[in-house]
Structure 1
Amino acid sequence: MKNTIRLWALCALISAQTIDVNALRTLGQSSATKLGLDRTKLTQEKQAQSLVILDRPVDPSLYFVGPGDQFRVNIISSNEAFNYSLTVSPTGEILIPAVAIVPVYGLTLRQAIKAMEKTVKEWNQNVKIYITLEQIREFKVKVIGQLEQPGLYTATPMTRVSDLYQMIIEQYSTEIEEDEESLMERGVSETDRSMMYDQKSQIADLYERKMRVPEEEKEYQELSNRNLVLIRKQDSIKIDLARFGISGKNDHNPYLQQEDILVIPLRRHLIGIYGGVKIPGKYEYVFGEFLSDLIQIAGGLRPDADPEKIEITRYNGPTEKFSFTVEFQESKDVQLNPEDHVMVQYAKQYKRQEIVYITGEVVHPGVYSILPGQTTIGNILAKASGYTNRSDSSKITINNRDIYEIPDRELERILLIPEENRSTSERAYIKARMMTQKGALETNSIIQAQYIKDFLVAKNDIIHVPENFDYVEILGAVKRPGRYPFIQSYLYDNYIEIAGGITSNATRNKFVIKAGTGQRLPAKNKTKIDTGDIIFIAEKMEYNKWIVLKDVLATASQIAVLLFYIDRVTNSG
């Protein structure tokens, strides 16, 4: 009798499980039929959906499930398998067909999968179940602070704070591009667009100068990237994206979660670090930061830095300051204050390479190291293996940008004087300065080029040897002006002869303009001509005879009237 009862119970259990499995089968087929998809088409459709780009695989212990997450659920019975793509509802629940509704919002991915497995097992312990996260959801994150457009921004559970921050920073540049595209659509040319933007920039510049807006104030109008705050339920998490960029530690750049609030303030305090660091400048201050942290943010010490001489200047009142020196070994214990100024001194003469540049027609142009006070122009030419066969070795040019950028105070003084009030010597100085660049030396003969080889070079000198163009230009009152080949033995009169001689309209003003310096020299028959020189013979000015006669008559009439009045005044007296 007992065996009969056991057999009957076993049959009942098998029948119930079969009914459950049939229910799953019927439901799955019905759903697929209504959608017009079979299982293969459904899978292909899901695989075709866009994927979220991840920096690493999802960690089931750190990923929190929420509305919109999609799971792949695979239930296997003794004779059939069922696949479902199930999405978490807006209320944070997931419906497993014919089984139950499982609350999953706020659970980690690991906890959510275990909760679903447990529910299915309670329903039918003889089936096997496999669950995986199929698609990551999107949600809104509130961003507040001194932004042009605070509000809600789209994110995913795999979006980091830096991703959202970059999206906000790029928004402004996108708006500028859209403005330019709209101008293009309206047919505004590139030149006109450039003029519009330049004009706006000039107007803004003028306004800022008029309002006397200090440059420093702009630094405090930038968004912070080191003092962000992520509000997560009852907690406030400090975010330092600059430190994340240096260290790569995710503590400074966590993943976003649903209901997070990101606060992006403006910069509040700055710290300056200069001298022997790789990226000197002003950096945003973070409370509790140490000197070692700031040096790391600034790229670390340069090889030529003196680690024993780091000077910190600090305010101890609204205006009072004091300075003290620390060593790099102590930097981990030196806490910084707002508006500190850090100067990392350089080691004396540490591997300082002073260089010059040589370009043009030399065999090996390039950058060469020099010994200050010892290296000459001739030494550099020798290092460059001398001239090429296309060089014009009579015309060597030496420039120095460092010297060129030193202000010419005399020129500045003269330019402040109205032109009509300038003296002859002041006008001559302007002319001379226009002819010779500050800090430059140019040769115009083989003798001069040979002479300067003994000159010492200075740091950052630029030596240029031009290519030789064997020609002479003849301009002005000659019968056949133009370019003529340079002939070593020819003098001034020889070139005038091959140009057909001078015209009847020529004046006595004849000049040779030297190619190397632009200097204008009086020309005589036996004047030596060098390659590239310009021979210029001034022409007489042509006048319209009728205009000349009219001017003469007008002047004569004015003189006659003047004499008439003088005569009347004299006689009346």
Structure 2
Amino acid sequence: MAGVADMRGGCPVAVGERAAHGIRSSAPPAAGRSSVCRWQASALDGDRFFHRRRTVRVDRRYRRRARPGPAYMNHLSSEYARRMDKNGCSQPYGRCRVTMKGVMQIFRCALPAFFGVLATVVAGQGQTTVTEKQDARVAIVGMEAFREVLETGRYVVGPGDQFVLLIPGVEEALELWVTAEGSLLIPRVGRVPVGGLRLSSARAAILDACRTQLPSVEISVELGQFRTFPVSVAGMVGVPGVSIASGVQRIGQVIRNSGGILDGASKRNIRLIRGGQLRGRDRQRIETYLQTNQLPHSDSLEVLRVDLELYYTTGLTRYNPFVEDGDLIVVPAKGEGILARENWSRPGTYEYAPGDRISDLVSLALGPAVDYDPENVLLFRYANGRWRYLQHVDLAAAVARDPEADLLLQPADWLIARKLPDYQNRSTVRVIGEVVYPGSYVVDLEGSRLKEVLEQAGGLTERASLGKSRVVRDFDAEQVNDPEWTRIMAIPAASWDREEKQYFNMKSREKPGRMVVDFIELFATEDGGAGQNILVRPGDAIFVPMALETVLVSGQAANPGAVPFDESYTVADYIERAGGFSWRASSDVVIIQARTGVWRDADDVDKLEPGDRIWIKENPVHDRWALFLEGMQVAGQVATVVLLFVTILK
């Protein structure tokens, strides 16, 4: 076949097959000097790829370049590049000679395909970006926003909103967007102005326009997607300025997106100016209001008070309305307060808002406590420079919004709820320690006998220590307040005199609330001993510790620790059991009795009891050289005074 001079290592392929590969030649080859140009291609036959290699010998004078078509170009970018090795040969068929001309030809063929693939990827990314933008515009609509804004038709339509028109007989719904000039362009109907209208009015205008042009067609109109719009936030917020919001967001959300309310800012007197329907000189009145904080008078200018404190407390949505396009939110400084004192669930001081009533303050305080006295709720008002009693308040009627009981409040008013006397007073005592059934037990308001309470607890166990048992009474802090102790503690310890030191030692060893009861004598006789069976009152605690059958030897003993109790042992015996005195021990030994906590000298104690402590004091180390130097210094000072006195006498 013409043009085919040689075939090496491949199967015969007709020149006409070049068209199958998308390669076009300008003229048939002519005789003469020829050179070898080699090219490789892959042909698609059904689902299989056949790789062929052939050599074409052409005349050098009529040398022509192969012009790859689209099919070969697209296939070369993927299949050929994948299957060629670094030497430019097909892997199944070994190596071949590579020329620079062949490499340039491959580059010219692959470059358009590369840019085609790149364009496809970029186009795919752009399409994904559009989809993401469309998905981002679909905001979350809660049931409250649906019922209060969309279902009621109060939503204000503006540029960027999308409407969906469903026409009978048409498979796909018609999606239309409100233009920048606030109109909806409906095919075959025309221009319908809807910008600035409420959703209910905009829907009615669209349906009226459609009925005019298409009277026999029943068209359904829905709001498909709503827009976002800028809202101005001024005053004491974190980031004042313009915040992006939507018609299904509340004022509190917009303020939070602007950095939140600063410390010292008002949460109850936030001003919301509805500026979407401004006419004429209303903007000037807004400026006057912002400068003077005086409410402007205009029928077209709506100024609302946002009360976030009551909204967070009660959850009533009227205190935190939804935002609209054109709104201006002003957060002023915190104003004067009103007080809820004493027996409320959340007593405290709350910001005063014009128009506040007793029921509002009760809501802020989360209502009265369970133990309040309904007959003793008082309102105090600051007048003429002094507090004066105003009147009793019928709290139930005030909460029910009775105009006669739900009085208007003034700044600095106090609402006081007294506590119900003797409400659920404590009527139990606690029994702790070595009894059969420890816990709380009910006693009479006047009190019950100690032995009776212990019998209710099942009595004492075998391990109970009668000597260390005690009854502790719960005293109020005011009852145990000691001004003398407070005075002494305010003086440096180095400045205390002898009596103040003794008073300090006495108070430091004192155990507030501990009742004087001898449990050993209490259980020694049937009648409970002489005055030991005392009355325990509500709030008292009875402690019965475990008996410690040891005597503790501490301080400067050779082997300090607990020594088993033995009735026949003396103080010296216990010290001997602890290894005797250490080399720094002094002769001063103190006994601390477990029952009373009293310190006694060892020579004055004849018999020890379980739990007692033997304290061997340390012999102080004296620096004799320092004492000598101090003595010499004092002697020198005395000699100087004597010489001075003698000199004066002469």
TM-score by length of 1: 0.67
Alignment equivalent of 1:232, drawn from 247, 265, 274: 274
| Structure 1 residues 132 and 527: CA distance shift in structure 2, 3 A | farther
Correspondence 1:139 to 2:268: no
Q: CA RMSD of the aligned region, Å? A: 4.7
CA apart distance, 1:371? 3.3
Alignment equivalent of 2:503, drawn from 418, 426, 429: 429
Alignment partners' CA distance in 1, 2:609 and 2:545: 18
Alignment partners' CA distance in 2, 1:383 and 1:101: 92
Preserved CA contact (<8 Å) 2:426 2:539: no
Alignment partners' CA distance in 2, 1:448 and 1:423: 41
| Structure 1 residues 359 and 48: CA distance shift in structure 2, 3 A | farther
CA apart distance, 1:312? 2.8
CA apart distance, 1:246? 5.8
Q: How does 1:174-573 map to 2 (within 5 A)?
A: 222-233=264-275, 234-244=301-311, 248-302=315-369, 304-319=371-386, 321-328=388-395, 331=398, 332=402, 333-334=404-405, 335-338=407-410, 339-359=412-432, 370-378=443-451, 380-386=453-459, 392=465, 394-396=468-470, 398=472, 400=474, 402-403=476-477, 406-440=480-514, 446-447=520-521, 454-457=533-536, 460-466=539-545, 471-485=550-564, 491-503=570-582, 505-515=584-594, 518-524=597-603, 526-531=606-611, 533-543=612-622, 548-549=624-625, 551-552=627-628, 555-556=631-632, 559=635, 562-563=638-639, 566=642, 570=646, 573=650
Task: Give the aligned residue type for 2:485.
Answer: L
SS across alignment from 2:417: strand
SS across alignment from 2:502: helix
Alignment equivalent of 2:249, drawn from 130, 154, 159: 159
Alignment partners' CA distance in 1, 2:340 and 2:550: 57
| Structure 1 residues 266 and 515: CA distance shift in structure 2, 3 A | farther
Preserved CA contact (<8 Å) 1:271 1:341: yes
Alignment partners' CA distance in 2, 1:68 and 1:336: 44
Task: Give the aligned residue type for 2:445.
Answer: P
| Structure 1 residues 522 and 558: CA distance shift in structure 2, 3 A | closer
Task: Give the aligned residue type for 1:271.
Answer: I
Q: Which has the higher contact order (CA 8 A, sep 6+)?
A: 1
CA apart distance, 1:539? 2.9
2:140 maps to: 52
Preserved CA contact (<8 Å) 1:357 1:462: yes
SS across alignment from 2:476: helix
| Structure 1 residues 150 and 48: CA distance shift in structure 2, 3 A | closer
| Structure 1 residues 79 and 96: CA distance shift in structure 2, 3 A | closer
Alignment partners' CA distance in 2, 1:442 and 1:163: 64
Alignment partners' CA distance in 2, 1:147 and 1:44: 32
Preserved CA contact (<8 Å) 1:73 1:129: no
Task: Give the aligned residue type for 1:228.
Answer: I
TM-score by length of 2: 0.61
Preserved CA contact (<8 Å) 1:411 1:430: yes
Q: How many residues align?
A: 489
SS across alignment from 2:631: helix
Which one has a bigger Cα radius of gyration? 2
Alignment partners' CA distance in 1, 2:249 and 2:507: 61
Gaps of 5+ in 1: 1-32, 173-220
Preserved CA contact (<8 Å) 2:560 2:578: yes
Preserved CA contact (<8 Å) 1:490 1:529: no
CA apart distance, 1:428? 1.4
Alignment partners' CA distance in 2, 1:39 and 1:119: 35
CA apart distance, 1:412? 1.2
Q: Provide, for residues 548-569 of structure 1, a one-character-per-residue CA deviation record: whole Å limited to 9, x for no partner.
A: 2464266347637855874796
Deviates further, 460-469 or 57-66: 460-469
| Structure 1 residues 65 and 36: CA distance shift in structure 2, 3 A | farther
Task: Give the aligned residue type for 1:108.
Answer: R
Preserved CA contact (<8 Å) 1:511 1:520: yes
2:3 maps to: none
Gaps of 5+ in 2: 1-120, 276-300
CA apart distance, 1:427? 1.4
SS across alignment from 2:477: helix
Alignment partners' CA distance in 2, 1:92 and 1:388: 90
CA apart distance, 1:399? 5.7
| Structure 1 residues 251 and 62: CA distance shift in structure 2, 3 A | farther
Preserved CA contact (<8 Å) 1:442 1:516: no
